[in-house]
Amino acid sequence: MIEGIYDYCHRWCERCPFTSQCALAQMESAFPSGEPFEDTLERVDQMMADAQELMLFRALEAGIDLSEPRPVPPEVLDDPLRDRAMLWSLDCYQWLQRHESRALSPAAREAIDVVRWYHTLVATKVARAVAQSIDDWDGYGHVDAAGSAKVAWLGLGQMITALSEAYEAFGADPHTLQILLDTHALSHAVDRAFPAHRDFKRAGWDS
């Protein structure tokens, strides 16, 4: 197993070459296919309880008090890059709604699959990077911000490739072109805001 390989991955296990070396993928694959919902719920409840117990133990070790919830700083919620990523994700969703039924060729269907997967992942990773860079309460935030930004930036690269294919597949569609240009712009914005992502090494992926 590669320790921590799942910390900064794209979570697309079906396309990942490291599932046999990933503890999270192995744990998720242990879920029986077609089991009753009640059994699945019970299993998830146990996983959450185990995770909470481990989190409390680690917090105690580090001298962190988790008894009081910490409010989100207002500058996180008002951050322009975070807002930009969220609006971009919404635009991508609307693009999917408009073009999904038109994806007839293999290239178009692949583009749809990639956009569907990454448009939410990128937005949440940008939001996390912003939050961790602003509210570095545990001294690790700047590291996590770089890792989260790297996942977002790599996802945007996948999106650019997919949207370029979609632009060809859908006959130079202006809506697709606009989303493609916006994706390029967001990629540059993430790179400028979090330059440390370039040197961030993800366990298993970059070493």
pLDDT in tens, 98-148: 999 888 889 899 999 999 999 999 999 999 999 999 887 667 889 999 999
Cα 42–Cα 65–Cα 7 angle in degrees, nearest 5: 55
Q: Whose CA is closest to 182, among 109, 97, 90?
A: 90
* Alpha carbons 150 and 198: distance in angstroms, whole number: 7
CB 190 within 8 A of CB 156: yes
Q: Which two tokens stand for residue 40?
A: 């699945």
> Are residues 115 and 162 in contact, defined by beta-carbon separation less than 8 angstroms?
yes
pTM of the predicted model, to two decimals?
Answer: 0.84
Please give the structure tokens belonging to residue 86: 């969220």
Q: Nearest-CA neighbor of 194 among 139, 135, 126?
A: 126
Q: Percent of the chain having pLDDT more than 70?
A: 93
Q: Tell me, what's the pLDDT at 31? A: 67
Q: Is 85 helix (H, G, I), strand (E, B) or coil?
A: helix
Residues 169-195 have a mean pLDDT of 95
